[in-house]
A and B are shown apart, each in its own frame.
Chain A
């Protein structure tokens, strides 16, 4: 591995850290909302099943938070260690949201501590529930602030750059750049979707493996309705993101869609391959659909890659990332819709074995969609680290030791991944929900007639 230069190695190490961190960051943003909803329903319906649900989710959640915190610290420091020149510029222009993100996280951490240790401390359970609100808000705000930084890298504004001198800085303009609204919307909705999908997948898996109980059925219903709702929001966010790209960052959309020539009534290409002349083969072609996706009009003009110098366009393989992300998003929408339909129909059971398996698959699929989406977003910005101003190769460290650091972190993430999974499994298999429900809330009738 010694033949790679420090730019390539810095990119690899950053990708590694982000790919690992994003799993925990997504859960960290989405799961508090699910916990808060479950606890609230439990209080309103006076149903201990939901309260226990919130309790058990929280217990698993802290493990993932811990990994999220430490990998978040890692990426925070690695930005400076691996991209010192970039951070020197970025520090001048975009450090405000970075700084605010720390505040948001601090706020969240304080109240998460309070939430964790005060379950039975108040006579009125609503006080305990109130502690979940700052956790949800803090998590959402962290996501918001850090996403503005990523947006800034895509559509930088709010400064003038001459050589290495930066003037005319406007931190708010930098923060609220054109990419911010759609990106934040997309990040938040997809985090909520993925968290709900994962919780649903775990629940469905338990129902398949053991005898299903009231507790698990209620959990599945809650998480599947949430999945459906957030899948719709994510689809809207995705559509708005495509329209944003068409207007502000057309080379990313064009590379993602294999749209080579600027034209009106552009076709949407699904999957396919490229031959040696960069011609698309084996694709599924939806006539005029790219124009519609880009501007809401089947005959509108869509800018193609021909408008950009070749060395300033991203690699074409991101097309597959885009398609996979969209397919998996649609899968989540479809499965959750199917669940809801079957639960309404008297003739069918929503706890059909096949449907449950589809729900189980939806969990990892949703997380994969997050990964593919981020790969598309990051690689789609290449060769820029700060679009139009600084290339990735200009931002990296010149230290020759990044390769060893890559191995060090690879080892760390493997270790953390393996141990956190085994700790989580042990945490719940040693203490099944039925046993805990019986133990904590003996008054609840578990065989329970349907509520």
Chain B
């Protein structure tokens, strides 16, 4: 496998990792706020904060990893995406900053404030929407290169059906993934009322998720036919994705094997995300950047791959330790520790 393919696969795995862990976090923020508004917060907020407290910082790192790695493996992306994403990127940074710091203020500070709660809930939906813009732009048609450099065609972006369908998909997926995870987590904590509540959320958000996926498919066929055709060639990946989706909803509906149900949800998004990503290639940014044209030199590629492997050898045992202590330690989950 060439460096560029190793590089993009690794980065895509990280982005997928971010998609899952950040969705859990973003959705949980929204549910916590929603529960407070509907006076059900006593049921689920404890379970949410027990999960979020030890892991919130780790979530952010997945994202930093992705964009630092992207610039390392494909330096041209810094130029094109950097030039065009100034405004959406800055908005995303501000939202991430508000979210991260306010979480800490709320959680470690002594004061409980409904303003913090609101910001935490609202940013959870706006961040995925603004980050999804980067993927939308990568499809091409939203960037213009002139002698003065490259610039974003904001008007085009804001009026494109494809762009809005991606935003919609991002938001509902966040809520779906998050509620699926919380159902599993609440069940593990033997917290029946919490489990019942988040289970309802999961079932509620399942149909918008599948509708949004289909709409995005259709909008894609209009916006970028090449990508759409390539995704049709990979139809089996999307078929598997739908099958896992149905399996997950079935299990949750039956209140059976909730851990497996969440793994199904992870597979659902894994196949959809990699099917989308594989169809995207060879372009990183249509039509300006391809994998081959933008990949860094061999020396740096090799150095990054070695660094990556060495880093993983350090991180995976540490992550397992963290998960054993907090995520899978039954006593901790139940609140006995």
Interfacial residues, chain A to chain B (CB-CB below 8 A): 59, 62-63, 65-67, 69-74, 76-78, 80-85, 87-93, 95-96, 98-103, 105-107, 109-114, 116-118, 121, 134, 166-167, 169-172, 397-399, 401-402, 404-405, 408-409, 412, 415-416, 419-420, 423-424, 426-427, 430-431
Q: Does B158 contact A (CB under 8 A)?
A: no
Least CB distance, A148 to chain B, in whole angstroms: 13
Known: A59-B108, A109-B57, A113-B55. A66 touches B101 (CB 8 A): yes
Least CB distance, A406 to chain B, in whole angstroms: 10
Known: A71-B97, A98-B71, A397-B82. A63 touches B108 (CB 8 A): yes
- Please give the number of chain B residues whose Cβ is less than 8 angstroms from any Cβ of chain A in the complex: 68
Q: Of B80, B82, B94, which contacts A409 at CB under 8 A?
A: B94
Residue on B with the closest CB to A399? B86
A58 CA / B325 CA spacing, docked (Å): 20
Residues of B within 8 A of A67 (CB): 101, 104
Residue on B with the closest CB to A98? B68
> Are B76 and A93 in touch, CB under 8 angstroms?
no
Q: Does B321 contact A (CB under 8 A)?
A: yes
> Are B68 and A81 in touch, CB under 8 angstroms?
no
Residues of B within 8 A of A59 (CB): 108
Q: Of A81, A107, A111, A117, which contacts B90 at CB under 8 A?
A: A81
Least CB distance, A234 to chain B, in whole angstroms: 29
Which of B163-171, B260-268, B279-287, B312-320 participates in binding chain A?
Answer: B312-320
> Are A107 and B81 in touch, CB under 8 angstroms?
no
| 24 cross-chain CB contacts under 8 A | A65-B104, A70-B60, A73-B64, A73-B96, A83-B82, A87-B71, A91-B74, A95-B296, A95-B304, A106-B311, A109-B58, A110-B315, A110-B321, A110-B322, A113-B53, A117-B53, A118-B325, A134-B318, A170-B299, A398-B149, A398-B151, A399-B86, A412-B98, A419-B101
> Are A401 and B314 in touch, CB under 8 angstroms?
no
Q: Of A71, A166, A398, A420, which contacts B105 at CB under 8 A?
A: A420
Interfacial residues, chain B to chain A (CB-CB below 8 A): 53-55, 57-58, 60-61, 63-65, 67-69, 71-76, 78-83, 85-87, 89-94, 96-98, 100-105, 108-111, 148-149, 151, 296-297, 299-300, 303-304, 307-308, 311, 314-315, 318-319, 321-322, 325-326, 337
A116 CA / B322 CA spacing, docked (Å): 12
A89 CA / B296 CA spacing, docked (Å): 10
A90 CA / B322 CA spacing, docked (Å): 34
> Are A110 and B58 in touch, CB under 8 angstroms?
yes
> Are B307 and A113 in touch, CB under 8 angstroms?
no
> Are B61 and A109 in touch, CB under 8 angstroms?
yes
> Are A114 and B60 in touch, CB under 8 angstroms?
no
Least CB distance, A16 to chain B, in whole angstroms: 12
Residues of B within 8 A of A93 (CB): 300
A93 CA / B319 CA spacing, docked (Å): 30
Known: A95-B72, A426-B110. A171 touches B300 (CB 8 A): yes
Residues of B within 8 A of A111 (CB): 318
Residues of B within 8 A of A95 (CB): 68, 71-73, 75, 296, 300, 304
The 7 A-B pairs of least Cβ separation, nearest first, read: A91-B75, A84-B82, A66-B104, A95-B72, A87-B78, A70-B97, A423-B109
A112 CA / B63 CA spacing, docked (Å): 18
Least CB distance, B170 to chain A, in whole angstroms: 19
Residue on A with the closest CB to B322? A110
> Are A102 and B97 in touch, CB under 8 angstroms?
no
A78 CA / B89 CA spacing, docked (Å): 8
> Are A66 and B103 in touch, CB under 8 angstroms?
yes
Q: What is the predominant secondary structure among interface residues of chain B facing chain A?
A: helix
Q: Of B82, B300, B315, which contacts A106 at CB under 8 A?
A: B315
> Are B78 and A113 in touch, CB under 8 angstroms?
no
A66 CA / B37 CA spacing, docked (Å): 26
> Are B65 and A401 in touch, CB under 8 angstroms?
no
A62 CA / B82 CA spacing, docked (Å): 31
> Are B101 and A77 in touch, CB under 8 angstroms?
no
> Are A110 and B78 in touch, CB under 8 angstroms?
no
> Are B79 and A166 in touch, CB under 8 angstroms?
no
> Are B57 and A113 in touch, CB under 8 angstroms?
yes
> Are B65 and A106 in touch, CB under 8 angstroms?
yes
> Are B68 and A117 in touch, CB under 8 angstroms?
no
> Are A405 and B76 in touch, CB under 8 angstroms?
no
> Are B96 and A70 in touch, CB under 8 angstroms?
yes
Residues of B within 8 A of A107 (CB): 314-315, 318
A111 CA / B55 CA spacing, docked (Å): 10
Residue on B with the closest CB to A92? B75
Residue on B with the closest CB to A84? B82
Residues of A within 8 A of B85 (CB): 81
Known: A69-B57, A91-B296, A93-B300. A77 touches B86 (CB 8 A): no
> Are B65 and A102 in touch, CB under 8 angstroms?
yes
Residues of A within 8 A of B308 (CB): 99
Residues of B within 8 A of A70 (CB): 60, 96-98, 100-101
> Are A420 and B101 in touch, CB under 8 angstroms?
yes
> Are B105 and A81 in touch, CB under 8 angstroms?
no
> Are B64 and A76 in touch, CB under 8 angstroms?
yes
Least CB distance, B58 to chain A, in whole angstroms: 5
Given contacts A110-B318, A112-B57, A169-B297, 13 further A-B contacts (CB under 8 A): A70-B97, A70-B101, A73-B63, A74-B97, A78-B93, A84-B81, A90-B75, A91-B74, A103-B307, A103-B314, A398-B149, A402-B86, A423-B110
A448 CA / B68 CA spacing, docked (Å): 53
Residues of A within 8 A of B90 (CB): 78, 81, 405, 408-409
> Are A169 and B300 in touch, CB under 8 angstroms?
yes
Residues of A within 8 A of B297 (CB): 92, 166-167, 169
Residues of B within 8 A of A116 (CB): 53-54
